[in-house]
C-alpha cells in the first residue's frame, strides 16, 4: 500500500491511498477531498507505479468527494495502467461528479460509476476474465 | 432524498443561477455536508459553471490572439506596401507621402524639402559581370550606408534598380549638400562581395521644393540634376537648375527625332581613310555617323550617340551603321585594295547585347562581304569593365575573322594585361596623346613606350588625329606604321571614298 501526503490540504483529506488487491488496483480518495490537477497527477503516477506499468482494472473509491477541478479531469483523460475503471460513490453528489467526469472528459478505457461495491467489482472482473480468455 | 427542505440552500441555489446568468461566471456555491440531491445539483451547476468559464476564457483568449495577429498582419501589409522588399527602405509611394508631408510643413513656415536622387555608377556592369545576387548585396549595403548619413527626419527610399532617393524636410542647401557629400564619401569605400571588393560610386542630383511644386515634379527635377551630375563623370553632385529641365526636354526631343532620322535617311556614314604611313596608301577607313538634322544642320556623334544609348535606341542605330558600312564595302568591292577594311565603332551598349556578333555575321552574309573587310572598335574603358557579354561578343567576332580593335588607347588604364587577354588585332592611339607629340619631348617618350607596348604583343598601332606634317614625321620616327587624321583627309562621303580608293596612293610625306 502506498500513502501519499497532500500538503496544504485539510487534515481529514490529507492523502489518497493506492494499493493492489487480487490483481485490482484500488484508489481511495479521502472523504471530502477536493481533487486538483496536482493531486490527480500524483495519484495517476502512483497508480502507474504500483501497477508496475501493467494494465490492470482499478476501483476508485470516491465516496464523498467534494469536487473535481477541470485540470484533474484532464489528467483522468490520459492513458494509464488502468485497463478498466469502476468509480464507486454513494451520494447524489458523487454521481454528478463521476458522470460529469465521464461525460466531459474522454476516458481512455471502459469506465463506469457504481454505488454498489459488488457490482463495481463484478464489472472489473469482467475485464480480468476478458484478459484471461 | 425526499421531503421538503427548508435550510435555505434552494434560495442560495437560485441566487447562484441568477449570478451566473448575469455573467458572473466565477460564482460558485459550496455544497453542504449532506451530499444530498440539492448538493448534487449545486455540484453539477458548479461544474457546468467551470466549463462555461473555461470556454469563455478560451474564446476570449482566441479572439485576443486573432485580433493581435490581424493587427500585426495589417502593420506588415502596410510596411510591405510602403517599403522596398530588398533593402527595407521606403518605396516610391512612401517617399511621395513624405514629400507631401514636408511640403505641407513648408506651407506652415518651415523650409521647403530637398529631394536627393542618387544613381549608382556602372551598376549594370556590376550586375552583368558578378550576377544579380552580388548586385542585390551591393544594393543592401548601399541602403545601409545611405541610412547612416541622413538626419533622423529624412527618409531614404529605393525607387527601383540602382536608383535611390532621399527626402529632407526643412532643409537648407548646406544641410542637403552635407548629406550628399557624406553619401558619396560613404560609397567610396568598397563593398565586399565575398572576397571581392566592388566600388559602387554614385552620382547625385538635388532639387529644392518651390511653392506648389508637387512630389512628382520634385523627383523629376532631382532626376534631371542627377543626370547632369552623371554626365560630368563619376561621383558628382549637381543642384537642379531650370535650364537642366530644358536640356532634358531637348534630349527627349532628340531621342524621338533620331527614330525619324533613321527612317528618313537623315543619317549618313562618312569615312576617314586609314593610311599606311610609310607607303602612303589607304589600308582602311573609319566609318563615322553624321546626322544632317533638317533644322539644326549637321550633328556630330557626340551630340546624339549618348542620347541614343540612354533612350534605348543604340542597338537600332548600331544596326543601321553596321548595315550601311557593309553595304558600302559591297559597293566598293571592285576598287578595294587587298587588305582594305572598314572600321566601325560599337558602343558598350551594343557590345553587351547578346546578338551583336550574330547581327554582324548575318549582315556580312546578306551582302556577301568577307568578314576580313570589317573591323569593330570598342573603347578602352569599355573593355576594362571585364563585362562577360562584351568579351563573348569580341571572341565571336574574332572567330568570325572580323577585326577587333581598341579605340582611344592611352587615355585609360593602358594595361598590357588586357591587350594580351583580349582577342584584338589593332590598337588606336587616342588623338589627345598625339596632339603635342612634335613639341613635347615627354609626350614623345610616352608615345614611344605605348608603341613598344603594342608591338610587344604583336598588335597593329593606328595613330588618330594626325593633323600636321610634324606629327606625321614624329610618328614615323617612333615606328608607328598606320594613322588617320585631317592631315590626310577629313571624313568623306561614300562616293568620295570610292574615288579615293580608285586614285593614286596618298603619300603626303614630301
A131: closest CA of chain B, how far (Å): 36
Provide the pLDDT for residue A1.
38
Could you report the per-residue pLDDT of A2-58, keeping only the tens digit for each?
343 333 333 344 578 999 998 899 999 998 888 999 999 999 999 999 988 689 999
Walking along chain B (510 residues) 10 residues at a time, the average pLDDT comes out as: 67 92 91 89 92 91 95 90 92 92 89 93 77 89 96 94 94 94 92 83 91 82 91 85 84 86 89 92 93 87 85 88 95 88 91 90 96 92 72 92 89 69 89 87 88 89 94 92 94 91 58
Nearest CA in chain B to A68: B47
Nearest CB neighbour to B1, from listed A92, A94, A96:
A92
Would you state the pLDDT for residue B329?
A: 95
Of B35, B51, B54, the CB nearest to A93: B35
- What is the C-alpha to C-alpha distance for residues B386 and B404, in angstroms, rounded to an integer? 16
What pLDDT does residue B338 have? Answer: 83
Q: How far is A129 from chain B (nearest CA, A)?
A: 35
pLDDT number for residue A107: 80
User: CA-to-CA distance for A60 and B98, rounded, in angstroms?
Assistant: 73
pLDDT value, residue A74:
85
Longest dimension (CA), chain B: 148
CB-CB contact of A46 with A2 (8 Å): yes
Query: Does any CB of chain B come closer than 8 Å to the CB of residue A33?
Result: no
> For residues B456 and B109, what is the distance between their CA atoms, to the nearest angstrom?
70
pLDDT attached to residue B29: 93
3-state SS record for B137-189 = HHHHHHHHHHHHHCCCCCEEEEEECCEEEEEECCCCHHHHHHHHHHHHHHHHC
Residue of A nearest to B44 (CA): A96
**Per-residue model confidence (pLDDT) at position B15:** 93
Position A79 scores a pLDDT of: 87
Contact B226, B204 (CB under 8 A): yes
CB contact under 8 A, A93 and B51: no
A93 touches chain B (CB under 8 A): yes
Alpha helices in B83-131, H assignment, sequence order = 92-107, 123-130
Q: CB–CB of A91 and B36 under 8 A?
A: yes
Among A3, A117, A119, smallest CA distance to A62 is for: A117
* 3-class secondary structure per residue, B302-319: HHHHHHHHHHCCHHHHHH
Report the chain A residue with the minimal C-alpha distance to residue B36.
A92
d(CA A119, CA A117): 5
* Unique residue bearing C-alpha cell 484533474: A72
How many angstroms separate the CA atoms of B495 and B328, rounded? 9
A100 lies within 8 A of chain B by CB: yes
Rounded CA separation B442/B449 (Å):
11
Q: Which of A64, A92, A100 sits opposite B47 (nearest CB)?
A: A100
Cα of B141 to nearest chain A Cα, Å? 54
Please report residues of B whose CB lies closer than 8 A to that of A94: 35
Asked if the C-beta of A71 comes within 8 angstroms of chain B's C-beta atoms, the answer is no
Q: Where are the alpha helices (DSSP H) in chain A?
A: 37-50, 70-76, 92-104, 117-132
Taking Cα atoms as reference points, which of B180, B187, B204, B102 lies closest to residue B143? B187
Whether residue A92 and residue B54 make contact (CB cut-off 8 A), yes or no, is no
| Nearest beta carbon to residue B37 from set A32, A92, A97 | A92
Contact call for B54 and A90, based on CB within 8 A = no
- DSSP, residue by residue, B398-442: HHTT-EEEEEEETSS---HHHHHHS---EEEEPHHHHTTTTT-HH
Q: Do A92 and B51 touch (CB under 8 A)?
A: no
Main-chain dihedrals φ then ψ at residue B441, nearest 5 degrees: -65, -35
Q: Do B35 and A67 touch (CB under 8 A)?
A: no
pLDDT tens-digit readout, B207-216: 998 876 788 8
Cα–Cα distance measured from residue B209 to residue B114, given in angstroms and rounded to the nearest whole number: 6
Residue B109 neighbours by CB distance under 10 Å = 7
DSSP 8-state symbol, B112: P
Q: Is A103 on the interface with B (CB under 8 A)?
A: no
Residue (of B156, B162, B3) closest to B90 by Cα position: B156
For the record, the C-alpha cell of B48 comes out as 457546468
Among chain A residues, CA nearest to B54: A70
CA distance B459 to B424: 8
pLDDT number for residue B4 = 54
- pTM of model > 0.90: no
Q: Which residues pair with B461 in a beta bridge?
A: B427
Percent pLDDT > 90 in chain B is 53
C-alpha cell recorded at residue B1: 432524498
What is the pLDDT, as a whole number, of residue B226?
A: 93
- Closest Cα in chain A to B52: A70
Are B44 and A95 within 8 A, CB to CB? no
A-B contacts (CB, under 8 Å)? 42
pLDDT tens figures, A63-112: 888 888 888 888 888 888 899 999 999 999 999 999 888 876 678 899 99
Q: Which residues of B touch A (CB under 8 A)?
A: 1, 31, 33, 35-37, 39-41, 43-44, 46-47, 50-51, 54
Calculate the CA B274 to chain-centre distance.
Answer: 35
Q: Nearest residue of A to residue B42 by CA position? A: A93
Amino acid at each position: 500500500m502506498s500513502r501519499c501526503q497532500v500538503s496544504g490540504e485539510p487534515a481529514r483529506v490529507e492523502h489518497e491511498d493506492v494499493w493492489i488487491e487480487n490483481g485490482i488496483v484500488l484508489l481511495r480518495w479521502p472523504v471530502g477531498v477536493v481533487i486538483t490537477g496536482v493531486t490527480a497527477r500524483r495519484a495517476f503516477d502512483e497508480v502507474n507505479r504500483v501497477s508496475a506499468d501493467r494494465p490492470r482494472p482499478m476501483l476508485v473509491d470516491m465516496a464523498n468527494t467534494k469536487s473535481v477541478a477541470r485540470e484533474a479531469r484532464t489528467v483522468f483523460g490520459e492513458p494509464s495502467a488502468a485497463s478498466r475503471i469502476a468509480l464507486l460513490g454513494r451520494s447524489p453528489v458523487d454521481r454528478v461528479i463521476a458522470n460529469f467526469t465521464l461525460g466531459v472528459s474522454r476516458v481512455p478505457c471502459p469506465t463506469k460509476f457504481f454505488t454498489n461495491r459488488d457490482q463495481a467489482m463484478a464489472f472489473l472482473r469482467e475485464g480480468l476474465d476478458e484478459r484471461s480468455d | 432524498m425526499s421531503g421538503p427542505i427548508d435550510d435555505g440552500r434552494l434560495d442560495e441555489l437560485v441566487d447562484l443561477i441568477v449570478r451566473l446568468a448575469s455573467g458572473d461566471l466565477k460564482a460558485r456555491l459550496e455544497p453542504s455536508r449532506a451530499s444530498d440531491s440539492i448538493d448534487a445539483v449545486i455540484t453539477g451547476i458548479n461544474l457546468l459553471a467551470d466549463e462555461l468559464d473555461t470556454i469563455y476564457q478560451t474564446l476570449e483568449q482566441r479572439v485576443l490572439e486573432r485580433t493581435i495577429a490581424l493587427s500585426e498582419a495589417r502593420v506588415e501589409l502596410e510596411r510591405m506596401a510602403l517599403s522596398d522588399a530588398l533593402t527595407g527602405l521606403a518605396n516610391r509611394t512612401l517617399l511621395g507621402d513624405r514629400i507631401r508631408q514636408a511640403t505641407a510643413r513648408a506651407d506652415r513656415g518651415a523650409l521647403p524639402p530637398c529631394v536627393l536622387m542618387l544613381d549608382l555608377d556602372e551598376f549594370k556592369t556590376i550586375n552583368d559581370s558578378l550576377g544579380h545576387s552580388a548586385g542585390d548585396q551591393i544594393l543592401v549595403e548601399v541602403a545601409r550606408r545611405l541610412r547612416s548619413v541622413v538626419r533622423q527626419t529624412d527618409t531614404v527610399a529605393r525607387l527601383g534598380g540602382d536608383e535611390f532617393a532621399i527626402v529632407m524636410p526643412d532643409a537648407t542647401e548646406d544641410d542637403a549638400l552635407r548629406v550628399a557629400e557624406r553619401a558619396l564619401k560613404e560609397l567610396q569605400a568598397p563593398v565586399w562581395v565575398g572576397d571581392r571588393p566592388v566600388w559602387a560610386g554614385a552620382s547625385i542630383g538635388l532639387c529644392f521644393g518651390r511653392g506648389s511644386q508637387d512630389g512628382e515634379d520634385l523627383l523629376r527635377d532631382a532626376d534631371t540634376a542627377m543626370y547632369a551630375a552623371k554626365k560630368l563623370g563619376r561621383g558628382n553632385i549637381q543642384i537642379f537648375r531650370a535650364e537642366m529641365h530644358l536640356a532634358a526636354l531637348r534630349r527627349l526631343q532628340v531621342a524621338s527625332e533620331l527614330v525619324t532620322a533613321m527612317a528618313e535617311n537623315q543619317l549618313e556614314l562618312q569615312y576617314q581613310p586609314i593610311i599606311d604611313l610609310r607607303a602612303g596608301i589607304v589600308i582602311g577607313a573609319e566609318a563615322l555617323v553624321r546626322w544632317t538634322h533638317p533644322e539644326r544642320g549637321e550633328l556630330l556623334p557626340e551630340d546624339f550617340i549618348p542620347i541614343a544609348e540612354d533612350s534605348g535606341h543604340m542597338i537600332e542605330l548600331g544596326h543601321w551603321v553596321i548595315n550601311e558600312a557593309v553595304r558600302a564595302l559591297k559597293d566598293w568591292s571592285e576598287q578595294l585594295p587587298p587588305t582594305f577594311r572598314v572600321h566601325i565603332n560599337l558602343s558598350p551598349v551594343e557590345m553587351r547585347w547578346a546578338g551583336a556578333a550574330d547581327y554582324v555575321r548575318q549582315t556580312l552574309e546578306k551582302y556577301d562581304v568577307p568578314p576580313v573587310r570589317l573591323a569593330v572598335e570598342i573603347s578602352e574603358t569599355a573593355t576594362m569593365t571585364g563585362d562577360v557579354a562584351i568579351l563573348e561578343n569580341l571572341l565571336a567576332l574574332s572567330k568570325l575573322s572580323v577585326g577587333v580593335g581598341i579605340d582611344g588607347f592611352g587615355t585609360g588604364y593602358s594595361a598590357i594585361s588586357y591587350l594580351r587577354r583580349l582577342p584584338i588585332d589593332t590598337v588606336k592611339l587616342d588623338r589627345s596623346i598625339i596632339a603635342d607629340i612634335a613639341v613635347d619631348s615627354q609626350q614623345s617618350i610616352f608615345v614611344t613606350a605605348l608603341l613598344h607596348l603594342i608591338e610587344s604583343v604583336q598588335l597593329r598601332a593606328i595613330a588618330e588625329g594626325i593633323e600636321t606634317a610634324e606629327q606625321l614625321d614624329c610618328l614615323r620616327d617612333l615606328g608607328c606604321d598606320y594613322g588617320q587624321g585631317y592631315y590626310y583627309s577629313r571624313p568623306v562621303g561614300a562616293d568620295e571614298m570610292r574615288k579615293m580608293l580608285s586614285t593614286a596612293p596618298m603619300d603626303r610625306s614630301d
